[in-house]
Each structure stands twice: as structure tokens, then as C-alpha cells.
Amino acid sequence: MSAIDERFKQLRSAGKKAFLPFVTAGDPSLPMTARLLEKLSACGSAIAEVGIPYSDPIADGPVIQASYTRALNAGIKLKDIFATVREVKPRLQMPLVSMVSYAVIHRMGMDRYVAEAIASGFSGAIVPDLLAEEADDLRKVCRREDFSLIHLVTPTTSPDRMLKIAELSSGFVYFVSITGITGERNELPPQLLEKVTWLRERVEIPICIGFGISRPEHVRVLAPVADGLIVGSAIVRRFAEIADPELALAGVEQLAKELIAALQPDAIPV
């Protein structure tokens, strides 16, 4: 079992849901990324996603795209991201997952990427531009190393394909809540609960919902049908829009605490 599997096993035993924040590595700097991860871990985040900046992000909205551009313009390198994660991971109480383009993995080589990711402290990867049906080679490497390979399903994925993707995934299934790109939304699709519930009733693997989640009311609505909720753009934006680093950290910490509080069972309407 990977550290992701262990974490969901612990959460299910305790009757809790997972809060999964997303951060962009190197925005505004790798030392600040390390401090942000420490804050999010101390708040009670279950797992964190670390975005590996890439020039052609897949499905990322303007907030995350801009953060990737800032990091790349600052000269961020994958080896530096791995070094930062290796340094900060012993101080974290949560597993880390890399959100990474397959182009990055392919260029490095699957075996080397997984080996170096594990050595630095990552426990899995989300590869949004790699179809589950085309991931057999990478999946073999990940399974051999107990490294979770998390696939995505969307509102337009057919029921049969949803089940197949869930079967091929490890760690958890990333359920994209909306069609389109990442970003904060005022409202989430009314059919979302029905679709997640349908899949939840048919698979054992944890299901985490992402895209568009930014408010406690979103969390309260979705928490009853999901094993975890992923929040990205709201965190990246809050961190980016405040110039003072200490105030930015405090702002993200406050948002995380509000969203984690909304995940508690006594905060979920029956």
C-alpha cells in the first residue's frame, strides 16, 4: 500500500473526509512553497498536491496557468522541486502527490521519474494529459514501487469508462466536477452529486472531487458523497494576490481552516 492508501484507510476508520490542497511549486519561490506546505499540513490537510510547472498546462484555468508562468520565468527546475520536497517532507504530516505533465515524465524516463519522486518524498502522481487506457507502462512502474497513479474522470465520461478508469487508478480517483478548466465557481453542476454517488456505490477506491471548489458551502454539499475534496485555484489565488509573504501565508491558512472545518461530520447537513 502507498502512503495515499494508508491515509484514506486511516480517514475511513475515523469517519473523516480528506482535504487536499493544491500548490504550485516555486510560486513565488521554493522556500515559500515549503513554508506553505508546512502551514497546510499543520492545519490538518490530509494530502497535498504539488503542481510541477509546465509551459502548456492541461485544463488549468488562468490562476494556475499564471502561477506556472511565474515559476517558469523564475527559472524553476524539476531537480530543485525534488530537493525542496526532500527537505520539507520530514516536517509534514501528510503525503504529497505531484500534478505533472506526461511530457515531463517521458523526457526524464518513467523509471527515473518515479524513483526520484519517491526519493524526494512524493507518494503518487496525477498525470492529466495521460489517458488511463494509454498508461499501462507507467502503471506497471508505479505498482512495482507502491507509487499511486491517480486518473481523472469528468462529467462527460461514460459510466462504463468511469468504472474502467476507477479500476485502473490507485490511491484515489480524481472526479472533475465541471467541464472546462480549473477555477473558482459560484455554483457547481446540479448533476454532480448524482454522478459521484453512482460511482461511489460501485467502486471501493476513494473518490476525490476537484475543480471549482472554493467555499465552505461547496464543501458541505459535496462532502457527503466524496472521500475528499481538492481545492487549487482558491489557494493559489489567495497566495498570489497578497504581496506580503507572511500575510499571504496567513490568508491561505485561514481559508484552509474554514474549508477543513466544513468537512467535519457535524458541519455536514443530513
Q: What would the DSSP string read from start to end of 1-70?
A: --HHHHHHHHHHHHT--EEEEEEETTSS-HHHHHHHHHHHHHHT-S-EEEE---SS-SS--HHHHHHHHH
- Residue 51's beta-bridge partner residues? 24, 99
The least confident of 1-10, 13-22, 56-65 is 56-65
Write down the catalytic residue from 27, 49, 145, 227: 49
Assess whether 49 carries a catalytic annotation: yes
Condensed to tens digits (0 to 9), the pLDDT of residues 104-160 reads: 999 999 999 999 999 999 999 999 999 999 999 999 999 999 999 999 999 889 999
How much is the CA Rg of the chain, to the nearest whole Å?
A: 17
Condensed to tens digits (0 to 9), the pLDDT of residues 211-245 reads: 878 888 889 889 999 999 999 888 988 888 888 98
Write down the catalytic residue from 60, 129, 136, 246: 60
Q: Which three cell numbers stand for residue 52?
A: 510541477
- Closest by CA to 111, choosing from 89, 137, 130, is 137
- Closest by CA to 31, choosing from 74, 60, 73, is 74
Give the start-to-end residue ranges of the domains of the chain.
3-259
- Residue 210's beta-bridge partner residues? 176
Residue 270's pLDDT is: 34
Residue 214's pLDDT is: 80
Mean pLDDT of the chain: 90
Q: How many CA atoms lie within 13 A of 80 on its CB side?
A: 14
Average pLDDT of 22-40?
Answer: 95
CATH of domain 3-259: 3.20.20.70
Residue 187 has pLDDT above 60, yes or no: no
Residue 264 has pLDDT above 50, yes or no: yes
- Pairing outcome for strands 18-24 and 152-153: unpaired
Assess whether 167 carries a catalytic annotation: no
Residue 190 has pLDDT above 50, yes or no: yes
Looking at per-residue pLDDT, the higher value among 94 and 155 belongs to 94
Residues 6+ apart with CB under 8 A from 182: 59, 60, 61, 63, 64, 210, 211, 212, 232, 233
- Pairing outcome for strands 207-210 and 152-153: unpaired
Residue type, 69: T
Residue 185's pLDDT is: 43
